[in-house]
Amino acid sequence: MSSVSFLVLVLVLLVTCSEAEPATEFAEASDGGTAQLSCNLTPTHPPDKVSVVLWYRGAQESPIYKYSLKSNRPQHWADASLDNRYFLRVLDDERAVMSISPTKQSDEDVFHCRVDFHKSPTRITHVNLTIVDI
C-alpha cells in the first residue's frame, strides 16, 4: 500500500468517526481461544435499519468480512485467507459480535467495523485485539 493510500484511509476513518462514538474498544483472547469483537449497530436516526456491515483489519483498504442485508436473506462473505475462523453474529438491533475461533497470534491487530445504514450516517467501531499466551 502506498503512503498516499494509507493517508487517505486514515483521513476517511477520522472524518467518519463522530465525537459521540467511543474511542477504540479493547478485546483480549488466549492463543487458540475465541475472540469476541463488538460492533455498534445503533443508527443515528432510529428507526433506520442496517444495510451492510464491513470489517477491516489494520490499514487494509479491502474488507475482510461482509454482512449484507440488501436482499431478502442476510448474506455473509469472508476473505478466503481467514480460513472460516471469523463469523459475525447479530445479537440485537444495536449490537453485533465478530467471533474469531480458534485465534492465532497473527490475529492480533486493530479491527474496524463499518456499518452503513439506509439513511443514517456510517458508524465505525474500532477494536484493538490482543492475543495472550497462557
pLDDT per residue rounded down to tens, the chain (134 residues):
565 454 434 444 444 444 445 568 999 999 999 999 999 999 999 999 999 999 999 999 999 999 999 888 999 999 999 999 999 999 998 999 999 999 999 999 999 999 999 999 999 999 999 999 87
Residue 57: predicted pLDDT: 97
Q: What is the dihedral of CA 6, 57, 37, 84, to 10 degrees?
A: 170
Which of the four CATH numbers 3.30.930.10, 2.60.40.10, 3.40.50.620, 1.10.1660.10 does domain 3-132 have? 2.60.40.10
Q: What is the CA radius of gyration of the chain?
A: 15
Task: Supply the pTM of this predicted model.
Answer: 0.81
Output the nine-digit C-alpha cell for 80.
478466503
Residue 3: predicted pLDDT: 58
Residue 134: predicted pLDDT: 76
3-state SS class at 66: strand
d(CA 73, CA 63): 20
Going by their DSSP bridges, the two strands 109-117 and 50-57 should be labelled as antiparallel
